[in-house]
Amino acid sequence: MSTPDVDVVVVGAGPAGSCAAIVAARAGLSVVLLERGPFPGSKNMYGGVVYPRILDGLIPNWWEEAPIQRWVTRRSTMLLTDTQALTVDFRSEAWGQPPYNGATAFRPDWDHWLASHAEAAGAQLLTDTTVVGLLRDAGGAVTGVRTDRPDGDLTARVVIACDGVNSFLAKEAGLYEHTDAKHFTLGVKETLALPKEVIDERFAVRERHGVDIEILGGTGKVNGGGFLYTGLDTLAVGVVLKLPKLAAQQQRPEQIIAGLKQHPAIAPLVQGAELKEYSAHLIPEAGLTMMPKMTMPGMLVAGDAAALCLAAGIWLEGVNFAMASGMYAAEAAVEAVQKGDTSATGLAGYQRRLSDTFVLKDHRKLRRAPELVLSDRVQHLYPTMVANVVERMFHVDNPNPKPGVRRILDQERRKAGVRRRDLLRDGWTGFRSFG
């Protein structure tokens, strides 16, 4: 066999790919990082919050240089019906100081920044380059990739596929058993311009402090969720929609955002803000249920390409899972290259690292959460039931005396058409997942 062009080819300069390239290049391997867009991050969008603590070991004091918009110091979870809103609002000064917790950031900024660290580590970044297929040997092992450049074949000891939610590489290699629309949600977002002072006043924050609002019940008949995040002088408002439901309900994505923006609890927050950019992206929503095989001879799969995205209602994370899985994939690739064994056995360190860390531990713990959160009862029955219970608790209906909470709960449960058995079962599933 001829000598490969490089030790490692990383496909996709998103958070997974750049972290993989940083680790592999720092270990002394020759690394090419391929990006199909004109710059890293140009194809990427998400709601807007990143949890970067996994970078502590990779980029010490990352918070001094990372291109963040605001540090999330206020987190709200909102339950909406057409005319009601119930909000749990938490704020912490600690989240506004190093090492921080969550931050709002734009992916074109964030991904571009991470890729610059990969280049600084010695990886060669090639933009404007789409990978169109895998190169494989007679035994099926991956030996490189084919790009759309002239003479664009690139051979490598290990390919790390970080090619995103549509991962044509993982599909081509047969690592996904099947692709099912119900495993995906569509995220659509409006980035709105609003002066910083107006945002600070409207959301009661200061300096670089910001707000993360997660919304259940604001997506009409389509199962999903909404979000509203503060950038420095922008707002991100959007919805995440379950694909089969979206197609069936005859309601278009931008109409659902418009509906959310008109809700009496949301409208005053976004009033007067002008559309700066409309964007959309798919989310691998189903967690463990949809995850592919992530290791094969000569190739590892990381980030969204491996469905390593946590969509568990109150926890919505993806970039941190991508960064971690990219790092672990590269650590395993380094071991394999050093041993001279890039077979599935040689690359087994990847799966072990995923299993031993939050990457798969969180997914295992929350394996029932995505389905529960997007279920018809949680989406369409519980918000009304809960909001009505709260409304009746605080509604002073004199001369009538206050009814007992248990009675209200039972009446509202029946009014909403929720069977006690289902409520208990969902409560138990939720408790086992989130407890």
Decide if residue 179 touches another protein (CB under 8 A): yes
CA-wise closest residue to 98 among 54, 47, 63: 63
429 forms part of the interface with another protein (CB under 8 A) = no
Residue with tokens 């919304």: 215
Q: Quote the CA–CA distance of 71 and 74 in Å, as a whole number.
A: 9
Per CB under 8 A, does 281 bind another protein? yes
In terms of CB distance, is 210 or 349 closer to another protein? 210
Residue 366's CB is within 10 A of a number of other CB atoms, namely 21
* 45 is a contact residue toward another protein (CB under 8 A): yes
Scanning residues 125 to 144, which ones bind another protein (CB under 8 A)? 127-130, 132
b (16+ CB within 10 A) / e for 1-27: eeebebbbbbbbbbbbbbbbbbbbbbb
Closer to another protein at the Cβ: 129 or 384? 129
Among 94, 267, 405, 424, binds another protein (CB under 8 A): 267
Q: At what angle do helices 349-356 and 319-339 cross, to 10 degrees?
A: 150
Q: Residue 172 or residue 335: which is nearer to another protein going by CB?
A: 172
Nearer to another protein, 218 or 349 (CB): 218
Contacting residue, 67, 91, 315, 430, with another protein by CB under 8 A: 67
Nearest-Å Rg of the Cα atoms of the chain is 23
CB of 42 to another protein, least distance (A): 5
Distance in angstroms (rounded) separating the CA atoms of residues 306 and 26: 24
Candidates 94, 120, 280, 314; binder of another protein (CB under 8 A) is: 280
- Which one among 18, 30, 104, 147 touches another protein, defined by CB under 8 A? 147
Closest CB to another protein among residues 38, 98: 38
- Closest contact distance (angstroms) between CB of 280 and another protein is 4
What is the torsion angle, in degrees rounded to the nearest 10, for the CA atoms of residue 111, residue 117, residue 123 and residue 129?
Answer: 20
For residue 277, state whether it binds another protein (rule: CB under 8 A).
Answer: yes
φ, ψ (nearest 5 deg) of residue 207 = 50, -125
Cα–Cα distance between 276 and 268 in angstroms, integer? 18
State yes or no: residue 166 binds another protein (CB under 8 A).
yes
Smallest distance from the beta carbon of 205 to another protein, in angstroms?
19
Cβ neighbors of 32 (< 8 A, separation 6 or more) are 5, 6, 8, 9, 10, 123, 124, 126, 154, 156
Q: Is 3 in the site for another protein (CB under 8 A)?
A: no
Is 244 among the residues that bind another protein (CB under 8 A)?
A: yes
Selected from 247, 314, 393, 405, the binder of another protein by CB under 8 A is: 247
**Cα end-to-end span (Å), the chain:** 53
Of the pair 74, 242, the CB lying nearest another protein is at 242
Nearest to 300 by CA among 131, 163, 123: 163
What is the Cα–Cα distance from 395 to 398, expressed in whole angstroms?
A: 9
Both tokens of residue 4? Answer: 């490969």
Nearest distance in Å: CB 217, another protein: 21
Q: Is 153 in the site for another protein (CB under 8 A)?
A: no
* Most distant pair of Cα atoms in the chain: their distance: 90
| Site size toward another protein, by CB under 8 A | 56
Q: What is the DSSP letter of 137?
A: -
Interface residue with another protein, options 26, 36, 70, 353 (CB under 8 A): 36
What are 282's strand-pairing partners?
Answer: 186
For residues 306 and 165, give the distance between their C-alpha atoms in angstroms, rounded to a whole number.
8
Beta bridge partners of 316: 311
3-state helix, strand, coil in the chain (%, to 5): 40, 25, 35
Region from 14-22, 85-93, 238-246, 364-372 binding another protein, contact rule CB under 8 A: 238-246
- Write down the least CB distance from residue 271 to another protein, Å: 6
Note whether 363 binds another protein by CB under 8 A. no
Per CB under 8 A, 278 contacts another protein: yes
Instruction: Say whether residue 219 binds another protein (CB under 8 A).
Output: no
Q: d(Cα 75, Cα 383) in Å, to the nearest integer?
A: 19
The site string for another protein over 87-126 (x = CB under 8 A, - otherwise) reads: -------------------xxxx--x--------------
Residue 38 near another protein by CB under 8 A: yes
Distant-in-sequence, close-in-space partners of 72: CB < 8 Å, separation ≥ 6: 49, 95, 101, 102, 103, 104, 210, 211, 212, 229
Q: Binding to another protein by residue 181, rule CB under 8 A?
A: yes
83 lies in the binding site for another protein (CB under 8 A): no
- What residue ranges bind another protein (CB under 8 A)? 36-39, 41-45, 67, 69, 106-109, 112, 127-130, 132, 147-149, 165-166, 168, 179, 181, 184, 186, 188, 243-244, 246-254, 262, 267, 271-272, 274-282
